[in-house]
Chains A and B, each alone.
Chain A
Amino acid sequence: MLLDYDRLGWLKVALLGFTALVAAFLLLPVVFIVLLSFGSSRWLAFPPPGWTLKWYQELFADPSWIEAALTSARIAAMTAVLAVAIGLLASFALVRGQFRGREILRGLLLTPMVLPVVVFAIAIYGFFLRLGLGGTTIGFVIAHTVLALPFAIIPIATALEGFDKSIEDAAIVCGASPLQAKLRITLPSIRIGIFSAAIFSFLASWDEVVVAIFMASPTLQTLPVKIWGSLRSDLTPVIAAASSLLVALTLALMIVTALLRRKLQT
């Protein structure tokens, strides 16, 4: 009976009550930060004495915030393109290849997701210091692609595993070259996986803090580095304004994802 929603009885009330509490806990910081960004108190008093848009004005008046956001977007876009391209090739090999040590290689490629980021951060920081790649866009993109690769491989490999290869073979029988068959039959069929991979690898870079803190230079800062710096000095409401825009972006991304998934699936 415990897995029948309609027959739980009193337990259902208790469990739903608890669920509602946890949902509130999960929503609390997100909603709070958005409300705070419109509050007029510089000292973050809540509920705020009045409402204002001045923190947003301050945010947009400061070119360093805009520049950091653009830097982040540029690095995340390059990371997503690289991670999806490399991940796509790797996924075909991991799913279809029949060589020894395949599972070990899969494990190796997914390790950056498991290793604490701080270990990778100082390792790549030390390495790039010697190569002269510290504080460069290319250094950022390489480091973030390493971190994003697992997030590209997992959804693509999963989609590829669910794809019936005999359809691709049928295309080849009908005269398509293996490459044509892959490009025109297989890739469109696993587009949801590729799309998820692009979103996840973009986010993996866009939200990445730890490597970015080490890698950043005074002239090259991503948005998380800029927020990190501000957080360490004071809790100005301008951070709340920037954060609220990030929340809006997350919401937009969720909606686009949901819509696209629905569209791609039909």
Chain B
Amino acid sequence: MSVEVQQGIATPRIPAGLGGLLPALILIGLFFVVPVLALLLRSVTDPALGLQNYAALLGDGTYARVFFNTFLVAAVVTIVTVLVAFPIAWMLAIMPQALASILFGIIILSMWTNLLTRTYAWMVLLQRTGVINRGLMAAGIIDQPLPLINNLTGVSIGMVYIMLPFMILPLVGTLRAIDPMTLRAAALCGASPLAAFRRILLPLSLPGIAAGGLMVFVMSLGYFVTPALLGGTSNMMLAEMVAQMIQSLLNWGLGSAAAFILLVVTMALYALQLRLVGSKRAAGGA
């Protein structure tokens, strides 16, 4: 009997396992890996064989400005997102269930609402005659409307809004995993709240902050929609430039090369994140 059972369990495992992966591998191989590799090939063959597209991208001041903008916005967005998300995640981790449910509801609503809807709202809110400028002027804080849109300020505001849930949700998990007793012990031993925060709470939540922060940074680097709608034409970001090179300029060689630079940077940072948190958590971080 026991022999039979073991066979029943053991035999389907290996062949069935690999067979199950087949449809997924065909889909990803044929419609993801092949097109991306074709793009890479195009970046070194279009219009002629060689690295001239990369040389053009890396040697030109206009493109350097786009790379700079991209990294600047991604860095600013990441820092602001971490600073804003940490206190919220902290409260969410310890607040009474009923209150936490409401807050989670608000976060999910904001995250699940159509991306274009959210960006449209910010376009209207941030425009010259928008609610924010009018409110600030009515309050007497400013005399002239602030330039909040069609520049990197607008892009940063819109991106922080989109990234916040991606930082808050994993961080709640990290903070919930910390045993409150460690902090009680610190207090008993005479640590001030500031010392307990600096020496215990912050170091213990650092892995979560690093993982979430890196994810936000990577997502921000390649973001297209928000920069394209809230940013200005003079302050482009990388993803927007890639799209423009292909769609408006029909310059496949240059566009592919720019896309490939974006791919390499993203994948390198993703590999770093995998190192930090392990593959399952990195991918399921959202």
Contacts and interface: CB of A to CB of B under 8 A. Distances in A.
Interface of A: 1-5, 11, 15-16, 18-19, 22-23, 25-30, 32-33, 36, 43-46, 85-87, 89-90, 92-94, 96-99, 103, 105-127, 142-143, 145-146, 149-150, 153-154, 158, 169, 172-173, 178, 203, 207, 209-210, 213-214, 224, 227-228, 231, 235, 239-240, 243, 246-247, 250-251, 253-254
Contacts of A86: 23-24, 27
B270 interface: yes
A150 B114 contact: no
B91 A214 contact: no
B115 A89 contact: no
Contacts of B39: 119, 122-123, 126
Contact of A4 (B84, B184, B260): B184
9 contacts: A1-B183, A1-B196, A96-B13, A109-B24, A116-B224, A116-B262, A118-B259, A120-B35, A254-B105
Which of B33, B175, B180, B197 neighbours the largest number of chain A CB atoms within 10 Å of its CB? Answer: B180
Contact of B32 (A36, A146, A153, A247): A146
Interface stretch (B52-60, B61-69, B122-130, B140-148): B122-130
Given A127-B38, A150-B283, A172-B5, A33 B117 contact: yes
Contacts of B38: 123, 126-127
Contacts of B211: none
Which of B127, B223, B284 neighbours the largest number of chain A CB atoms within 10 Å of its CB? Answer: B284
Contacts of B98: none
A29 B197 CA distance: 33
Nearest to A165: B9
Contact of A33 (B21, B121, B252, B279): B121
B31 A146 contact: yes
A118 B27 contact: no
Give the interface size bracket for B toward A. 35 or more
Given A115-B266, A119-B259, A149 B279 contact: no
A118 B28 contact: no
B20 A93 contact: yes
B183 A2 contact: yes
Interface in B81-134: 84, 87-88, 90-91, 93-96, 103, 105-110, 112-125, 127, 129-131, 134
B24 to A, nearest CB: 4
B212 interface: no
Contacts of A32: 121, 124-125, 131
B114 to A, nearest CB: 4
Contacts of A25: 161
B216 interface: no
A11 B14 contact: no
A3 B114 contact: no
Contacts of B24: 86-87, 89-90, 109, 149, 153
B51 interface: no
A231 B114 CA distance: 14
A5 B95 contact: yes
Contacts of A27: 106, 109-110
Contact of A15 (B87, B131, B255): B87
Given A26-B109, A109-B24, A122-B255, 5 more contacts: A1-B184, A45-B129, A86-B23, A122-B259, A123-B39
A207 B118 CA distance: 12
B225 A169 contact: no
A145 B161 contact: no
B91 A16 contact: yes
B114 A119 contact: no
Contacts of B27: 86, 142, 145-146, 149
Contact of A120 (B36, B93, B110): B36
B150 to A, nearest CB: 13
A126 B266 CA distance: 21
A15 B95 CA distance: 11
A109 to B, nearest CB: 6
B137 interface: no
B120 A114 contact: no
B206 interface: no
Contacts of B121: 28-30, 32-33, 36, 243
